[in-house]
Chains A and B, each alone.
Chain A
Amino acid sequence: MEAEQPVRTPYIVFADVQVRYTEEMQGLRGVSLSIYKGDFVFLLGETGAGKSTLLKCLTREVRYTGGKVLLHGRNIDTYKDRDIPYLRRDMGIVPQDSSLLPNKNVFENVAYAMRAAGHTKNAVLKKVPEILDKCQLGNKVKCFPNELSGGEKQRVAIARALINTPPLLLADEPTANLNYESGIEIMDLLKSFNQRGMTVLVATHDMPIVQKMGRRIVRLKNGLLLSDEAPAFAVIEREGVAADV
């Protein structure tokens, strides 16, 4: 007799999510999607498809006007404004164009995220060098953003997003303006954290890199979900991670 599979509860649920910016302009037109713990999902689509908006619904940078978004079973809409910083501390966010604090060096950029989350100076001094080493930035600690290459800036943004070891990483176009090799490096870095159990959502329009990674692909166009493809090997890998976690 075959053993009954336990029912897995989705970690993130987008249920008929709509975002209307103006009467004419809609960011999302009813997107439904479930994401499980440990998933690595690419949100693929052209500019204006709704990828960033979907991520911003999760971070509450944008408030959806229809449907609902659940994170760990809780409707994002129920968070009060004053609780948004605490919601965001449970996710690592890599914004578009990496966006680093211009007047802080690499160490300080990453440390800020820890200090802002209430960690002590001693904890910062211990943990920041570790994450910078993991992101191959150990020799760039004192560099300012204007002294870094595009790929290095992205790695700093990823290190900053990961410093508080969040269970969820949201990356908006992390390979934009990077060449193919640098893009693959960034994705390998994200993959390594995903393999340790972190859920990763990446918004991108970089098709060659997405194909190379062979992960679940959610296609969006004009605010609508076109397709949701999960390559078989990725699913198997996910099941393995889920079992480890």
Chain B
Amino acid sequence: MFDRIEFILSEAATSLRRNPLMVIAATVTVAVSLILIGGFGYIYYRATKFAETLPNQFEMRVYLKDSVEGPGLAKVQSDLTAIPGVGKVTLIPKDQAWAKMRAQYPEIPFDLSNPLPNAFNVRFTDLRSADAAAGQIKQLPGVDKVLYQREILKAIRQGIGLVRYIGYLGVLLFAISGIVVYNAIRLTVYARRVEIRIMQLVGATNATIRVPFMLEGMVQGALGGIIASLSLEGISAAFSRFTNGMNLSVPTFPIMPILGILVAIGIVFGLICSGWAIHAPLKTEGKAI
């Protein structure tokens, strides 16, 4: 049993040692693919996380007519909540707002009566519907004015759109890296077809042929993962240096989790690709009809 394991492991190790060019080609292919997928995956993740916070940074203030009091407030609140895209609706009673303003501006004369109306603070689950919602809100009975910053809304929308484009680009790069890997596999199969046939002719079982190939693939995948992680860390560090002078907060690159994830993906990638590469040549017989 141990003799068998030693044979399989030594086959994989010998092959890795004696095919340096093929190992470099396969490792670089995996590394490039992982940099593309992993890098954009990370950027997409950060951008999505950022985009998730954007709707909460946007608020719409809905001022009511003075006549709306008591049950009328609850009616407006339920009307607001029913509008598509609207999330949280919070009542800001005029007394509370006036007290807050007084606290903020102590110079306001004491005898001045409260000029503020009751209002609602509206947040959105979907910012795309904010403009349409504003139109609907204005039409509601009891609503006097709707205030929001159109420019902020536009900037936020552009940010979310950018995240979507990053996603599309990621899908495109994923497809490109798939083509790169597929071509690398075809080259591997072509280069090793004769080798596999000889192994079959001397009576090696499919497992005896397959396992060392897959071990090789796993090692190449892991190496690709390590290279990709280090490259991404380098890119992230360069980006941080670039943005140092700007007022941007770039999060620290989490090298250890990324290393773990990319090495794991690389191993699985290598395993699948080598298994795929060896599948066709392992057929035991030629084609006759």
Contacts and interface: CB of A to CB of B under 8 A. Distances in A.
A and B from one assembly? yes
Interface size on A, as a range, is 35 or more
Interface stretch (B94-102, B138-146, B194-202): B194-202
A3 interface: no
B125 interface: no
Nearest to A27: B288
Given A103-B14, A121-B6, A85 B285 contact: no
A116 B284 contact: no
Interface stretch (A33-41, A54-62, A202-210): A54-62
Interface in B198-236: 198-206, 208
A61 B285 contact: yes
A180 B157 CA distance: 83
Interface size on B, as a range, is 20 to 34
A19 B6 CA distance: 41
Contacts of A63: 285-286, 288
B198 A21 contact: no
A113 B203 CA distance: 7
Interface string A108-137: 100011011110110000000000000000
B288 A101 contact: no
Contacts of B206: 82, 85
A86 B194 contact: no
A102 B19 CA distance: 10
Interface of B: 3-4, 6-7, 14-15, 18-19, 194-195, 197-206, 208, 284-289
10 contacts: A21-B289, A23-B289, A61-B285, A63-B285, A82-B206, A84-B285, A85-B203, A93-B201, A121-B6, A164-B203
Interface of A: 19-23, 27, 56, 59-65, 81-82, 84-86, 88-89, 93, 95, 99-104, 108, 112-113, 115-118, 120-121, 160-161, 164
Closest 9 CB pairs of A and B: A89-B203, A116-B204, A113-B202, A103-B18, A88-B203, A93-B201, A85-B205, A62-B286, A84-B284
Given A61-B201, A101-B199, A108-B14, 17 more contacts: A20-B289, A63-B285, A85-B200, A85-B203, A85-B205, A85-B208, A95-B198, A99-B197, A99-B201, A101-B195, A103-B19, A104-B18, A113-B202, A116-B202, A118-B4, A121-B3, A164-B203
